[in-house]
Structure 1
Amino acid sequence: MGIEGPFWRAIAVFRVASLAYAALLVLRAGGYDRPAVAWAVVGVMAVWTVVMLVPPPAARRAPLLAADLVVTAACLLASPYAQSRDDMLAGAIPITATWAAGPVLAYGVARGRRAGAVAAAVMSAADLWLRSGNGVDLASIPVNGAVLMFMAGVVVGHVARLAREAEERMRRAARIEAAGRERERLARGIHDSVLQVLALVQRRGAEIGGEAAELGRLAGEQEAALRALVQVPSGAAEAEADLRELLRPYGTSRVTVSAPATPLPLPAESAREVAAAVGAALDNVARHCPEGTRAWILAEEDGGAVVVTVRDDGPGIPEGRLEQAAREGRMGVARSIRGRVADLGGTVAITSSRTGTEIELSVPVSADEARADEKSGRRS
């Protein structure tokens, strides 16, 4: 049920209590002018109250909410068939009494304060039409019930929305905490194995010299990059990271990293994914370009997004090569770069020519902006 469960249980209790109150009013009034009709309406109300005791997933569905509004309005408008005109002129409460507020509360919880206000307007209009059609002077019709119904729909809808947002924040915090614990566990394992091997290769390569020295240098670069990726910030720092700190380890004699003097903050997980995508782009340069090919990394903030550009002076990507690689099952660019950035709500633009390749990664600074981009159709 989630955090909405208590709201729906409260509405169920309200419906049952209101049904009992309506039945008590009919009993005290002796069934009004036509007892058979009055008790028939109460019976319909009782049956519908049982129907609306369904769990939240079903109660939120639009057809059931619409049926709730129609049935409740019909029961309200059936009052003149049980009550006499004198009862109506004397200000008798309709048979439904407070039970009529049930769909207003349900719409507020399920669809928010605006939907709750619309449902309140429908029920208030039905009550106004009922009274005016029975000769009640419009000026003398009490509006307290309509005002309270509007307030109930708006307030309950607003509180329900705030509760859902709070639940989502709690879930996100729990995911971040779990990811931090898993990352720390992996970091321990990597430190005890991969990093030690890379450090050994770097040291022995420097001792042997020659081609082994070059392998040692490359191992040292990968060790530095891997240490930066598995580094686990402590405390609140896990919620946000400076992308510059994750990109700087990629800088070597053949890779130039340029970043602004001010931090480039991103959610910690987003920053690590962007850094991993940059690493995948550099791996492609090392694997597919001639030895000695230079690369440049430029990171900057642009209009609510962090943009990272990876450019090289290699021979470029042959036309159709990326599509061919995807067909052959080699998904380096599709998954390691495009997939990572797409999961963050960002975009990837690849431009290639005979003078080099440029890969531009653009990622929204916040998760809210990513969701807004997705809703407006700008996510790719």
Structure 2
Amino acid sequence: MAEEPAGTFQVPLWRAIAVFRFASMAYVVAMAVFNVTDYAHPLGVIPALAVLAGWSVAATYLYARPAWQGWPLLGTDLAITLVLLLASPWVVGRTAIDNGVPSLAVAWQACPVLAWAVSGGRRRGAIAALVVGAADVTVRAKLTSASATGLMLMLLAGVAVGHVARLAVESEQRLQRAVELEAATRERERLARGIHDSVLQVLALVQRRGAHLDGEAAELARLAGEQEAALRALVSGRTPRQRLGPEVDLRTVLDGFASPAVSIAAPATPVRLPASVAHEVGAAVGAALDNVARHGGGARAWVLLEEEAGTVTVSVRDDGPGIPAGRLAEAARQGRLGVAQSIQGRIAELGGSVEIISAPGEGTEVELRLRVAP
């Protein structure tokens, strides 16, 4: 079975419980030797100590393996402790216990409480402490201040250790997220260097060479300049200027795509979204319309914007040749990720969904659906 990873923050806690388990076992043995003459059945202490020592070794071995740190082990640990506690009136004798002789478990009975606390936090530690404390109280003829104090100390230990264990888990999760973020940042920096040395320089060259030309060449130069600025902002991590501001009307973003070949239909009332969200939706719609222009063979396109019950839906429909079955998956395998990243990836990052409906000869409909806060 797999060992606990060396970097896990809970490892020191499990090791501390193992040390406490053996230290408390030594104390139980010392108390048994010292008080054996006062026991009602002195020979009964031998199997009790054998069970206690054997389970201490087994529990230490099993708790060191994450695969075993579940309910079967936790339940067995608690059950063995309860058996030792409930056997104390017969082995030690109620009279001796009432006169101050410790039970068979003594401090060792706190071991399952600590294990439950480390595995499940404050609540689980408190539950185990109450169960063990209730069993400890039942072996005594009456509740004394000493037994009540022991119960409270065990309850406090379960809550405190459980709290520390939860903090350790949360700290480990935060550290993991920080490591992932650092790795992602380094990867972005590596990609930024490669893009700067290739794509950005080519786009800048196209813009400079085409700036003094006329017709379509000038338009291509202008588009190259816009894409260079957007790509440079993306790889540098800066927010594009157009995304600043609290919110915008999505209708105004989509109106920029209107042309003789593209019709826009939108509600009469504003559809307000955070600026960054609205422009991401607009970029996804632009990618869908770009696909129509490239592969539609002169097809017309219709963009429909709807807002209903906290959901914003943008549908891009065309009357082109459609998409053959399996074509999108094949394009993704070949590295052409226009739909997967420019459309589906953008909307997925916003928490929305994309549905593509198409059939050969019947056009294509791309539906972008996004849940928005009131």
TM-score (norm 1): 0.72
> 2:18 aligns to what?
12
Relative to structure 1, the CA distance from residue 70 to residue 332 in structure 2 (aligned partners, 3 Å threshold; closer, same or farther) is: farther
Alignment of 1:1-380 (within 5 A): 1=5, 2-30=8-36, 32-54=39-61, 55-131=64-140, 136-138=141-143, 142-232=147-237, 244=243, 254-255=256-257, 279=283, 281-289=285-293, 315=318, 325-326=327-328, 328=330, 330=332, 333=339, 337-338=343-344, 342=348, 346-348=351-353, 350=355, 359-362=368-371
What is the alpha-carbon root mean square deviation over aligned residues? 4.2
Give 3-state SS (helix, strand or coil) of 2:196's partner. Answer: helix
Deviates more, 1:182-191 or 1:91-100: 182-191
**Change in 2 beyond 3 A, CA 1:318/1:157:** farther
What is the count of residue pairs matched by the alignment? 335
Taking the aligned partners of 2:218 and 2:299, their CA distance within structure 1 comes to 16
Q: Secondary structure at the match of 1:82?
A: helix
1:157/1:336 Cα in 2 relative to 1: closer, same or farther (>3 Å)? farther
Aligned match of 1:372: none
- Percent identity of paired positions between Structure 1 and Structure 2: 44
Which residue identity lines up with residue 288 of structure 2 in the other structure? N
- How far apart are residue 5 of structure 1 and its match? 0.8
Structure 1: stretches of 5+ with no match in the other structure = 265-270, 365-380
* Structure 1: distance between partners of 2:229 and 2:330: 32
Q: Computing the radius of gyration over CA atoms, which structure comes out larger, 1 or 2? A: 2
Looking at structure 1, the residues matched to 25 and 166 of structure 2 have their Cα atoms a distance apart, in angstroms, of 27
Equivalent residues of 1:65, 1:107 under 8 A apart: yes
- Aligned partners of 1:106, 1:144: CA distance in 2, in Å? 21
Query: Quick one: distance in 1 between partners of 2:210 and 2:255?
Result: 18
Q: 1:52 to 1:126 in 2, by over 3 A?
A: same
3-state SS of paired residue (1:127): helix
Change in Cα spacing, 1:356 to 1:140, as seen in structure 2 (3 Å) is closer
Q: CA-to-partner distance for each residue in 1:215-271, whole Å, 9 max, x for gaps? A: 2233223212211211135xxx9xxx99925999xx899459x9979876xxxxxx9
TM-score (norm 2): 0.73
CA distance, structure 2, for counterparts of residue 56 and residue 345 of structure 1: 39
Q: Is the 8 A contact 1:120 1:153 kept in 2?
A: yes
What is the DSSP-based 3-state SS (H/G/I as helix, E as strand, rest coil) of the residue aligned with 2:139?
A: helix
Aligned-pair distance for 1:179?
1.8
2:102 counterpart SS class: coil
Cα shift at 1:297? 12
CA deviations on 1:351-379 (whole Å, 9 max, x unpaired) are 98999855244589xxxxxxxxxxxxxxx
Task: State the Cα deviation string for residues 323-352 of structure 1 (Å, max 9, x = none).
Answer: 75456555754565445655x582225598
